[in-house]
Amino acid sequence: MRIPFCKYESGREEHSNVADVLDAEDFNQVTKLEEEFASYVGAEYALATSHGTSALHLAMLALDLKRGDKVVCSVNAYPNVPEVVRHFDAEPVFIDIESNTYNINLDLLEAYLEDNQSKKLKAVIVTHLGGTTVDLERLYAIAKIYSVKIVEDASEALGATYKGKKIGSTGGDITCFNFSPHLKKNVCNGGMLVTDNAQIMERAKLLTNHAIERDEDSLEYIYDVVDIGNDYSLSELAAAYIRAQIMKQDKNIKRHQEIAKIYSEALKSTEHITIPDMSNDENPFSLYIVKVDKNRDSFALELKKAGVECGLHYIPLHLLTYYKSKYSLKINNFPKALQCYQQVLSLPIYAGMDDKEVKFVCEKVKQIAKTRV
């Protein structure tokens, strides 16, 4: 048996929606996706983009990020987070993490903002790793005190909730979603930018198509360009496919949570393995992350040989050549992120896994764990 880290699934609904586009029966898939997505997460506005990274980059454009501005983010994030900041010749500022959730440490974030108050400090990008959130009420209160915008990276948090509200409707300025996230590649790319702020959405819509403006009373080919934008548009085919998947997301999350319970029950007493905290009923388990206390990479290699593919979320940004050299970062600058990085391992978890496959993963993890010394 071979268990991939992730597997995309396509059902009748996806095929039907895509067929409608191919048969020229419905060319309004993007508009429908935006409307349905805004309703799904409970946001006022939603704007579809070609990818999750496009949504993040567009968010920086919408916030009018400029050269020399600063944006704070977790040191434990995928490279697209600081990347979209650097494309403006602005500066990412890295903050260490919490050991249990692997998310940005709010105590360290608040201390940084207190010590570095400046008009150049524009925003904080908060990554909801695996769909698990920080204390968002506290985060928003901090942002208000220090006058910074909150951009939420919800690449792994589609359908996730905080105190009963879906991510995207909890109070952040902008939330960005990715329908083909890191290591969980979908059959098509797509992203979404959501906000309750009309001005932010107006600017984002303008910049998503080269900042082109048209006079509705004039000929269609007459246009003007009023700013520097880009092409972030999502295709009708991709939108058709994604629409069908959004309808299944809540059901998928329930299956993820069922799988997580099976994993945790089977692995809770396994030597050298630490399972995630199961006390948070709202954890969607977009990722199931364990800690391996010794030789994580050799453990992952043995799992791969046994037919189980794994993931890593993430390599801390200060260990990557570009950011390490650009900002003269030292390996011990972020001790919590470093320690977690040396141990964390993401096991396969997706709605299409059956119990037999989940138990197979558990058996292989326990077998290999016995060889640790």
pLDDT for 10 equals: 83
State the Cα–Cα distance between residues 135 and 182, nearest whole angstrom.
Answer: 24
Residue 148: is it exposed, middle or buried by C-beta count within 10 angstroms (0-12/13-18/19+)? buried
CA 213, 215, 218 angle in degrees (round to 5)? Answer: 135
**Count H helices, E strands: the chain?**
12, 14
State the Cα–Cα distance between residues 54 and 208, nearest whole angstrom.
Answer: 9
pLDDT for 373 equals: 59
Question: DSSP label at 270?
Answer: -
State the Cα–Cα distance between residues 349 and 310, nearest whole angstrom.
Answer: 10
Strand 174-178, strand 149-153: pairing: parallel
Q: Which residue has the tokens 């998947």?
A: 245
State the Cα–Cα distance between residues 314 and 338, nearest whole angstrom.
Answer: 10
Instruction: Kindly list the structural domains of the chain, giving each domain's residue range(s) and its CATH number in brackets, ordered by start.
Output: 12-242 (3.40.640.10), 249-369 (3.90.1150.10)
Q: Which residue has the tokens 């919800």?
A: 154
Locate 207 and state its tokens.
């910049």
State the Cα–Cα distance between residues 176 and 193, nearest whole angstrom.
Answer: 5
pLDDT (tens, 9 = 90+) of the chain, 373 residues, equals: 999 999 988 888 888 998 988 998 878 999 999 999 999 999 999 999 999 999 999 999 999 999 999 999 999 999 999 999 999 999 999 999 999 999 999 999 999 999 999 999 999 999 999 999 999 999 999 999 999 999 999 999 999 999 999 999 999 999 999 999 888 888 889 999 999 999 999 999 999 999 999 988 889 899 999 999 999 999 999 999 999 999 999 999 999 999 999 999 999 999 999 999 999 999 999 999 999 998 999 999 999 999 999 999 999 999 999 999 999 999 999 999 999 999 999 999 999 999 999 999 999 999 999 987 5
pLDDT for 166 equals: 98
State the Cα–Cα distance between residues 355 and 90, nearest whole angstrom.
Answer: 47
Looking at the chain, how many residues does it have?
Answer: 373
Q: Which residue has the tokens 């048996």?
A: 1
Q: Which residues of 204-230 are buried (b: 16+ CB within 10 A; e: fewer)?
A: bebbbebbeeeeeeeeeeeeeeeeebe
Q: Is 30 left (phi over 0), alpha (psi -120 to 50) or beta?
A: alpha
DSSP code per residue over 191-247? EEEEES-HHHHHHHHHHTBTTEE--TTS-TT--EE-S---B-PPPHHHHHHHHHHHH
For residue 60, report the phi and psi dihedrals to the nearest 5 degrees: -65, -40
State the Cα–Cα distance between residues 366 and 225, nearest whole angstrom.
Answer: 60
Locate 181 and state its tokens.
């996230």
Q: Which residue has the tokens 């309808």?
A: 247
CB 317 within 8 A of CB 323: yes
CA 271, 275, 277 angle in degrees (round to 5)? Answer: 145
Strand 70-74, strand 121-127: pairing: parallel
Q: Which residue has the tokens 């990347």?
A: 83
